[in-house]
């Protein structure tokens, strides 16, 4: 496995491989590190669908609206590289901020998200999705993948990236991979490393609430009634709820009726750690 920390060396590696195999299919998995089994699920999916797999490890400063959250974000590069090598990654790109933002992190960036950036995460984390789209577009520019792989745990982020690809008319496919979970149901997240064992147990209220959403949606199609019941159940736990929404999969706007094609999304604080999760409702 090759490890690159500059765009120039990465580009040379990609060009050499494509020169040897012009039909090569390049798979790309962008990450912010602190890798876990969820990331490896993305890597294995990329391995199955690609000839060459590149993973990036970069904590992107432009998507953090809270500087303290950026400082707290776990960084485990040495362990990440070892895990990627063990799981069949071909190359890892670990750039410095200057390599991704040669003109500085305040480089102007704008794109029409068609309103999907104004709800849920977008409402509570101003500028977050602009930073996400900015860094992902930059990675696509450098890596030029045929397929990029993202986890469905970041439901809204996937929608944002699909919209960015559509607006920019980029020649690549976005592959959405189902959420990886612990055996107890807790969605795997790099932020879980910041939780105590007791907090990880308390955080299960998120999964339990989402599981109830799936079951209770079979008995009512009134989203307001369902949301009220889910919030009441969630509040029997110890986490502080930031939002619980039942959203349309395409527009991400809150729905009034539960129909196939909507998702229950939750963001909550376990202590100081912010966790998100979601689950599709069949209606």
pLDDT in tens, 185-221: 999 999 999 999 999 999 999 999 999 999 999 999 9
Q: CA-CA distance, 19 to 174, in Å (whole number)?
A: 24
Is 172 in a helix, a strand, or coil? coil
Q: Report phi then psi at 249, rounded to 5.
A: -65, -25
Q: Tell me, yes or no, if 36 is annotated catalytic.
A: no
Angle at 86 between CA 84 and CA 87, to 5 degrees: 65
Q: Which residues contact 133 (CB under 8 A, 6 or more apart)?
A: 109, 111, 113, 160, 161, 164
Four-CA torsion 139, 141, 142, 145, nearest 10 degrees: 80
Name the DSSP class of 187: B
**Residue 243: which of 118, 110, 58 has the closest Cα?**
118
d(CA 237, CA 210): 13
Which residue in the list 39, 44, 106, 128 is annotated as catalytic?
Answer: 39
Number of CB atoms found within 10 A of residue 42's CB = 24
Task: Note the pLDDT tens digit of each residue in 86-124.
Answer: 999 999 999 999 999 999 999 899 999 999 999 999 999
Rounded to whole angstroms, how far apart are CA atoms 124 and 105? 21
Please determine, for residue 146, whether its predicted confidence score (pLDDT) is greater than 70: yes
Phi, psi of 189, deg, nearest 5: -155, 145
Whether the predicted pLDDT of 66 surpasses 90: no
Q: Specify the 3-state DSSP secondary structure of 65.
A: coil
Domains present along the chain, CATH in parentheses? 2-177 (3.40.50.620), 190-281 (3.30.1300.10)
pLDDT at 56: 98
Give the pLDDT confidence of 69-80 residue by residue, as tens digits.
899 899 999 999
Q: How many residues does the chain have?
A: 283
């Amino acid at each position: 496995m090759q490890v690159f920390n500059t765009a120039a060396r990465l580009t040379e590696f990609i060009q050499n491989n494509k020169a040897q195999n012009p039909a090569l299919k390049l798979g790309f998995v962008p990450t912010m590190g602190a890798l876990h089994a969820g990331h490896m699920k993305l890597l294995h999916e990329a391995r199955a669908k690609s000839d060459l797999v590149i993973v990036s490890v970069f904590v992107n400063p432009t998507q953090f609206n809270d500087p303290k959250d950026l400082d707290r974000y776990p960084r485990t590069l040495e362990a990440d590289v070892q895990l990627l090598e063990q799981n069949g990654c071909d190359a890892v790109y670990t750039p410095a901020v200057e390599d991704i933002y040669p003109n500085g992190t305040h480089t102007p960036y704008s794109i029409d998200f068609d309103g999907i950036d104004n709800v849920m995460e977008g409402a509570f984390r101003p500028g977050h999705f602009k930073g996400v789209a900015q860094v992902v577009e930059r990675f696509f520019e450098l890596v030029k993948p045929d397929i990029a792989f993202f986890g469905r745990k970041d439901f809204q982020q996937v929608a944002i990236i699909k919209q960015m690809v559509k607006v920019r008319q980029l020649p690549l496919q976005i592959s959405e991979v189902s959420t990886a979970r612990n055996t107890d149901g807790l969605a795997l997240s790099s932020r879980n490393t910041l939780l105590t064992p007791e907090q990880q147990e308390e955080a299960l209220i998120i999964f339990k609430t989402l599981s109830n959403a799936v079951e209770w949606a079979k008995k009512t199609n009134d989203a307001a009634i369902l949301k009220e019941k889910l919030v009441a159940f969630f509040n029997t736990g110890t986490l502080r709820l930031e939002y619980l929404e039942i959203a349309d999969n395409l527009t991400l706007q809150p729905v009034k009726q539960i129909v196939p094609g909507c998702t229950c999304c939750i963001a909550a604080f376990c202590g100081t750690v912010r966790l998100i999760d979601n689950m599709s409702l069949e209606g």
